[in-house]
Amino acid sequence: MTETGRIIKSIGGLFFIESSDTIYECKARGIFRKDGISPSVGDMVTFENGVITEIHERKNFIIRPPLANLDQLIFVVSVTQPAPNLLILDKFIAVAEYQNITPVIVLTKVDLEKYDDILDIYKRAGIEIYVIDYNDANAVEEIRLLLKDKISAFTGNSGAGKSTLLNEVCGDFNISTGEISEKLGRGRHTTRHSELYRLPWGGYIADTPGFSTFETNKYNIIRKEELADCFAEFRQFEGECKFRDCSHTKEKGCRIIEAVQEGVIPQSRHESYCCMYDEAKQIKEWEL
């Protein structure tokens, strides 16, 4: 009997597929390896007699850890201890935008340091941003609503508070938050398999490593010509530059640079863009 479901876990060549509230253990057809594709956690698949026969079209895919069909990537960012690295954050936001994954920022440790600047930067960038104060029950409930009926991955620097956040969000429910927290909160991410954790109120959480190991590797390289579209606040000025092939880095008559000077686009975001543009210029076509 042919069935369809979502892969929620893979380990040692075995895939665990959730279909109609039942978990099936399956292997993949050898033809997938021949075609250079492999089933991944998050994939919707067709399977029959314990064998995956078809991988449905993906809306996005990140390489490490391998996860398909994410709805949102949630960046847990502490405002201090450790201080936020905006360039690294902007790089990962750009990858999320490029992969058609909604980026979301959750600020932690807000009782230890002012956070108005970072809040302003990313609100102006049009990125959804939440402030977590654990004395405010509504703040935790907002994150639960954010996760509802979506496939979400959490990532962030070691020490940013992923473990605490997940325990606060999921701790009242009968799911293995200790296991999630251990994986998400580790200084060094050593998870040997990917897994989706089902939330009682709808949706899934995926485990991902911290920024130090979440790689924008060659599979996620963004060409310099495509980079501006990965900065949401640039899009409103599309086509308004003096030169059609404007790089938005130093040209006279660049509408993006004017918007930075006017304070419409945050300077730190433009600096991140210029840094990423310079890096993208070094990429050889064969590397893509």
Global confidence as pTM: 0.86
Residue 135 has pLDDT above 80, yes or no: yes
Q: Are 200 and 189 in contact (CB under 8 A)?
A: no
CB 86 within 8 Å of CB 157: no
pLDDT at position 101:
94
pLDDT band at 231, cuts 50/70/90?
A: very high
Least confident of 9-13, 64-68, 90-94: 64-68
pLDDT score of 214 more than 60: no
For the CA atoms of the chain, what is the radius of gyration? 20
pLDDT at 159 over 60: yes
Query: Would the pLDDT of 191 be above 60?
Result: no
Q: Please, which residues bridge with residue 25 across strands?
A: 16
CA 69 to chain centre: 11
| 51-61: pLDDT as tens digits | 999 999 999 99
- What structural domains and CATH numbers belong to the chain? 2-57 (2.40.50.140), 67-207 (3.40.50.300), 221-287 (1.10.40.50)
Confidence of residue 250 (pLDDT cuts 50, 70, 90): very high
Give yes or no for a contact between 130 and 143, defined as CB atoms under 8 angstroms apart. yes
Question: How high is the pLDDT of residue 48?
Answer: 94
Question: What is the H or E stretch that residue 78 is in?
Answer: strand 72-78
**Average pLDDT across the chain, whole number:** 85
DSSP secondary structure of 26-37: EEE-HHHHHTT-
Given a cut of 60, whether residue 182 has pLDDT beyond it is: no
The pLDDT score that the predictor gives to residue 169 is 85
Q: How many residues does the chain have?
A: 288
Closest among 189, 188, 157 to 83, alpha carbons compared: 157
Strand duo 61-62 + 67-68: pairing: antiparallel
In this prediction, residues 207-231 reach a mean pLDDT of: 71
Place of tokens 């059609």: 244
Q: What is the pLDDT of residues 69-117, one digit of tens each?
A: 999 999 999 998 888 899 999 998 999 999 999 999 999 998 888 999 9
Task: With a cut of 80, say whether residue 13 has pLDDT above it.
Answer: yes
| Percent helix, percent strand, percent coil in the chain, to nearest 5 | 35, 25, 40
Q: Per-residue pLDDT for 142 more than 80?
A: yes
Residue 7 phi/psi, 5° resolution? Answer: -75, 120
pLDDT in the model for residue 287 = 60
What 3-state class would DSSP assign to 284? coil
Per-residue pLDDT, averaged over 32-56, amounts to 90
